[in-house]
Structure 1
Amino acid sequence: MTQLVEARMEHLDEICAIDQEVIGDYSRSGNLRTAINEKRCIIQQTEKGIGGFLIFTNDFFENCFISLVIVKPSERRMGIATALLAFYVEMAATPKIFSSTNQSNTSMHKVFETAGFIKSGCIENLDEGDPEIIYVKYK
C-alpha cells in the first residue's frame, strides 16, 4: 500500500539517506530536519520504505513554492514525483503553486509538464551556465 503523508521526525534518517544518495552528501540534513519540524515535508511511503519526498514553503511572494522534490533512484519513473506534486497542489494554501528546476534537468521538466505546471520564467546566475526555470500551477 502506498501512502502520501506528512513526514515525521522518525523519517528523518531515511529522508536524509535518500537525499545523500541523490546529491552525494548530507549537506541538506539540517534543512530537511527543519522542514519536518515545521510540517513542510511530504513523503511517499510503501511497505518497502520511503520512495520520495517533497519540501515546500508558503512564502514565495505570498504564494506556495515547492522547493525540493527527490525520488529514490531505484524508485524513479514510477509516478512518485507526479503523485507528490498532485498531493501538495490539493493541500496548498494559495491558488498558485510555484516550483523550479535547472534548465539541464530534463527529467524534472517532464514531471512538471505531466503534472500540469507551466513555465513562468527563469532566473539567471544561481548555477553558473544553468538557468533556473520557474513553473506555476493554478488550482
Structure 2
Amino acid sequence: MTYRAVAYASTAVAGLTPADIDHLLVDARAHNQLAGVTGVLLYDGQQFFQYFEGSQEGVARVYERIMASTMHVNVRVLHDGHVDQLYFSQWHMGSSHAEGSVLQKLSNQQWLREAELLQEDVAEAGQGTPALRELLSFWEQVQAEG
C-alpha cells in the first residue's frame, strides 16, 4: 500500500504558552487518530516542523486543518508525496520541546526514543524519504542550538 506524507516548517505566532502547545497536542492527537494519521511535531520556541503520514484521505483532512490554524504563519511545505511505509505507525502525534508541561515532557521522551531509531533507519543504506531527512536535520539543528 502507498501512503502520503507531508513535512512542513512554519513560524509560530508570538506569545504561545505551554498551555497553548498542550491544547495543540491534545487536539492534533484526537483528530489524527480519527483520520488514521501519525507523525511528529517539533517546536523550538519559534518554529514548528511537522511530519505526518497516512492514507491520502486522512492526510488531506489533517493538512486542511493545519493550513487553517492560527497558531502559525509562513507555512513552507518541504515534502508532499508518496511513501511506501509508515515511519510513525504507533504515534498519533509525538512532540518535542517541553517546558513546563507534563504532556509535552512525556511526548518529548517518546520523541527522543523514536528519533534515535529513526536516525539509524535513515542512515542505513539511504533509507527514508527526503521529508524524514529534513525532519532529522531540523532536530539536529535544534539540538545543536540547545
TM-score range, shorter chain: 0.3 to 0.5
TM-score by length of 2: 0.33
Higher helix proportion, which one? 2
TM-score by length of 1: 0.34
Higher strand proportion, which one? 1
